[in-house]
C-alpha cells in the first residue's frame, strides 16, 4: 500500500506537468482530441492530417486574425472515457476550438467537455445528426455530410439515372452510421414513384457468415435491381464478396464508408458497385483543386488519401477559420453565429450550410463513384432534390 500512495503522489505530480504543456501565448490554439492509437486511429489520422494541411495553409498566408495557429493534441486511445479526458487536456492546454474524434460515440465525450467549457467543437467526420446541437450542444459541429443523405442520394440517383425500380435493403445493425444510411434511404424511397422495396434483412458486421441472408435474396424472383447495403468495413467487404460468390449480380449501393480501393482486393473484379463521395481520391475529380490537394497530401504523408474521409478535416478548419475571420473574434457565440449564416458556403469538397437548427449537412452534393472491373472511378454527381427534414433525422 505504501507503493500505491507513492503512485498516487507521483500521479498527481504528473498531472501538474501535463497542464503546463501549453502553446505560445500569442497563438490561436486548436485542440485535437483524436485517436492516435486503438482502432479509431486509422479513421482519425487522415482527417487530422488534412486539418493540419489547412492550418499550415492559413499560417503560411499570414494566419488568422493576424495570429498564427498552433495545435495541442491528446490521444483518445479509441476509448470514450479517455476521450473526455483528452478533451479536458487540450482545453487545459488553452484550446480555442476543439477537434474531436471522427465517430460520434467516441468524439462526443470530448465535444461535451468543450461544450461545457464554452468552446466550439468540430467532429472530424461524424455523420450522425447527434454530432452537433442535438447530441452535444449549440457549440458543436460536424464538417461531414449526414449518413442519411448518403442513403437518400444513392436511392434517388439509382432511381433517376440507373432506372432502378426494385430495391432490397440489407442493414448491418452493428453501428449507428449504418442505420443512418438505411434511414435516409427509407426517407427517400416512398417519394420515388413506382419504385418498390422488395425485401429487407439484417446482419451484424462480425457475423462469420451471412449465408442465410444471401439465400433469402437469391430466392427472390426476379432479382432486385439494386441492393441497398448499409454497412461498413470489414463486414461490408465480406458481404459483398459473399453476395458475388453466390452469383448475385444486382447493383450494390452503399454509403461513403466503403470508399477507397484498399479493400477491393477482397472482391477481385468487382462490378456494378456504387458509393457517394465528397471528393475523388482517384485523381478524376471534376474539380482539379481536389486532385492538387491529393498531391499535397501525398507529399506530406508519403501516400495519397486512402478514402474520402480525409477531406472533412480540411473542410472543418476551412469553414471555422472563415467564420472566425468574419466574426473578427474567437468568441464562441460570435463564431457560431457566423457559421450559422453559411448557406452553400463553397469549400473544396462541396458546399456547406449551417443554421440554428442543424450543424450538419442534411443535403449535399455528392460525386458518385462506381467500381467496375475492380477499379473505382467517378461517374456522376448528384444532389438530392430536397434536404432531409430534421424530424425525419430524429425519428
Partner 1 sequence: MTAVLQILFDALAVGSIYALGALGIALIFGVMRLVNFAHGDYIAFCVFAMLVPSTDVVAIVLIGKLPAILLIPIILLIGAVISVLSEMLVFRHLRNANPATMMICSFALGFVIQHVLLMFYSSRPKAINLWSNLSLPVEIFGARIPLLQLLTIIITFVILVALMWFLKRTRYGLEMRAAAEDFTMARMLGVRANRVIMTAFAVSGLLAASIGLILATQTGVADIRMGMPIMLVAFVATVIGGLGSLPGAVICGLLIGAASVLLQVFLPLDARPFRDAFLYSAVILCLLWRPDGIFAPRSAKQRV
Partner 2 sequence: MKQPQSVLAKTISTPVILIALLVVIAILTALFGSGSFARTVTEIFIRVAFVVGLYIFIGNSGVISFGHAGFMCIGAYAAAWFTVPPMMKKVLLPGLPEIVSNAQLPFLGSLVLSSFLAALVALLVGLIMMRLAGIAASIATFAFLAVINTVYANWESVTAATSSVVGIPMVTGVWTSLFGASAAILIAYFYSISRWGLALRAARDEDIAASASGVDIYRQRLISFVISAFVCGMSGVLYAHYLGVVNPDAFYLGITFISLSMFVVGGMSSLSGAVLGVVIISAIIQILRWFEKGIDIGGLTLELPNGIQEIAIGVVMIVILVFRPAGLLGKREVLLKGWPFKRRTAD
193 binds partner 2 (CB under 8 A): no
Q: Which does 244 bind (CB under 5 to 8 A by kind): partner 2, partner 1, none?
A: partner 1
Say which entry of partner 2, partner 1, none residue 61 contacts (CB below 5 to 8 A, set by partner kind).
none
Smallest gap from residue 332 Cβ to partner 2 (A)? 19
Q: Which three cell numbers stand for residue 58?
A: 492559413
Residue with cell 504528473: 14
Segment 13 to 32, residues that bind partner 2, using CB under 8 A: 13-19
* C-alpha count within 13 angstroms, C-beta hemisphere, residue 316: 34
Please state the closest distance from residue 304 (CB atom) to partner 1, in A: 10
Contact between 152 and 187 (Cβ < 8 Å): yes
* Per-residue x/- track, 62-81, partner 2 (CB under 8 A): ------------xx-x--xx
Q: Is 10 in the site for partner 2 (CB under 8 A)?
A: yes
**Which of partner 1, partner 2, none interacts with 88 (beta carbon under 5 to 8 A by kind)?**
partner 2
- Mapped onto helix, strand or coil, the DSSP state of residue 221 is coil
Hey, what's the cell of 297?
497530401
How many Cα atoms sit within 13 Å of 81 on the Cβ side?
Answer: 0
Place of cell 495545435: 71
Is residue 115 a contact partner of residue 135, using CB atoms and an 8 Å limit? no
Query: According to the binding rule CB under 8 A, does residue 208 interact with partner 2?
Result: no
> How many chain residues touch partner 2 (CB under 8 A)?
50
- Give min distance, CB of 108 to partner 2, in A: 5
The binding site for partner 1 (CB under 8 A) comprises 37-43, 78, 173, 200-204, 206-209, 211-213, 215-216, 218-219, 233-234, 237-238, 241-242, 244-247, 260-269, 303, 306-307
In the list partner 1, partner 2, none, the entry touching 266 (Cβ below 5 to 8 angstroms by class) is partner 1
Site for partner 2 in 150-179 (CB under 8 A): 173-176, 179
Cα–Cα distance list, 41 to 65, 79, 103, 197 (Å):
32, 11, 11, 37
* Comparison of 247 and 288: residue with beta carbon closer to partner 1: 247
Residue owning grid cell 455523420? 127
- Shorter beta-carbon distance to partner 1: residue 68 or 306: 306
Question: Which residues lie below 8 Å from residue 11, measured CB to CB, with a gap of 6+?
Answer: none
Strands in 226-230's sheet, in edge-to-edge order, are 196-203, 166-172, 226-230, 251-253, 273-277, 365-372, 375-383
Task: Pick one of 31, 46, 109, 376: the residue that binds partner 2 (CB under 8 A).
Answer: 109
CB count within 10 Å of CB 197 equals 17
As measured in angstroms, the least distance from the Cβ of 12 to partner 2 is 4
7 CB neighbour count, 10 Å cutoff: 10
Is residue 84 a contact point for partner 2 (CB under 8 A)?
yes
Cell digits of residue 60: 503560411
For residue 294, the partner it binds in partner 2, partner 1, none, with Cβ less than 5 to 8 A by kind, is none
- Distance from C-alpha of 257 to C-alpha of 231, rounded to nearest angstrom: 8
**Which of partner 1, partner 2, none lies near 208, with the C-beta cut-off 5 to 8 A by kind?**
partner 1
**Spatial distance between the Cα atoms of 174 and 204, rounded to a whole number of angstroms:** 5
First to last CA, the chain: 52
Q: Which of residues 118-137 bind partner 2 (CB under 8 A)?
A: 128, 130, 135-136
Interface positions with partner 2 (CB under 8 A) = 1-5, 7-19, 36-38, 41, 74-75, 77, 80-81, 84-86, 88-89, 91-92, 104-105, 108-109, 112, 116, 128, 130, 135-136, 173-176, 179, 394
Amino acid at each position: 500500500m505504501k507503493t500505491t500512495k507513492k503512485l498516487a503522489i507521483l500521479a498527481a505530480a504528473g498531472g501538474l506537468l501535463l497542464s503546463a504543456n501549453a502553446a505560445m501565448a500569442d497563438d490561436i490554439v486548436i485542440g485535437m482530441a483524436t485517436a492516435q492509437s486503438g482502432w479509431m486511429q486509422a479513421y482519425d489520422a487522415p482527417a487530422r492530417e488534412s486539418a493540419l494541411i489547412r492550418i499550415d495553409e492559413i499560417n503560411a498566408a499570414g494566419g488568422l486574425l493576424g495570429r498564427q495557429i498552433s495545435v495541442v493534441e491528446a490521444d483518445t486511445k479509441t476509448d470514450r472515457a479517455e476521450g473526455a479526458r483528452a478533451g479536458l487536456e487540450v482545453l487545459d492546454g488553452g484550446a480555442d476550438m476543439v477537434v474531436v474524434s471522427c465517430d460520434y460515440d467516441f468524439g462526443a465525450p470530448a465535444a461535451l467537455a468543450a461544450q461545457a467549457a464554452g468552446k466550439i467543437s468540430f467532429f472530424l467526420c461524424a455523420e450522425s445528426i447527434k454530432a452537433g446541437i442535438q447530441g452535444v450542444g449549440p457549440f458543436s459541429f460536424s464538417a461531414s455530410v449526414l449518413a442519411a443523405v448518403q442513403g437518400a442520394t444513392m436511392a434517388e440517383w439509382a432511381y433517376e439515372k440507373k432506372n432502378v425500380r426494385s430495391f432490397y435493403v440489407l442493414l448491418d445493425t452493428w453501428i449507428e452510421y449504418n442505420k443512418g444510411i438505411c434511414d435516409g434511404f427509407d426517407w427517400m424511397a416512398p417519394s420515388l414513384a413506382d419504385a418498390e422495396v422488395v425485401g429487407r434483412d439484417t446482419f451484424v458486421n462480425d457475423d462469420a457468415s451471412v449465408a442465410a441472408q444471401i439465400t433469402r435474396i437469391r430466392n427472390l424472383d426476379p432479382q432486385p435491381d439494386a441492393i441497398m447495403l448499409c454497412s461498413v468495413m470489414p463486414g461490408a467487404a465480406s458481404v459483398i464478396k459473399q453476395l458475388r460468390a453466390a452469383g448475385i449480380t444486382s447493383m450494390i449501393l452503399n454509403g461513403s464508408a466503403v470508399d477507397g480501393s484498399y479493400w477491393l482486393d477482397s472482391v477481385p473484379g468487382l462490378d456494378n458497385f456504387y458509393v457517394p463521395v465528397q471528393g475523388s481520391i482517384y485523381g478524376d475529380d471534376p474539380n482539379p483543386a481536389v486532385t492538387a490537394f491529393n498531391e499535397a497530401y501525398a507529399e506530406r504523408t508519403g501516400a495519397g488519401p486512402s478514402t474520402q474521409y480525409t477531406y472533412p478535416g480540411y473542410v472543418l478548419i476551412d469553414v471555422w477559420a472563415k467564420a472566425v475571420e468574419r466574426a473578427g473574434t474567437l468568441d464562441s457565440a460570435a463564431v457560431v453565429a457566423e457559421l450559422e449564416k453559411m448557406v452553400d458556403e463553397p469549400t473544396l469538397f462541396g458546399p456547406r450550410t449551417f443554421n440554428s437548427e442543424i450543424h450538419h449537412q442534411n443535403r449535399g452534393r455528392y460525386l458518385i463513384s462506381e467500381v467496375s472491373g475492380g477499379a473505382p472511378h467517378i461517374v456522376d454527381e448528384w444532389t438530392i432534390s430536397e434536404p432531409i427534414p430534421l424530424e425525419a433525422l430524429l425519428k
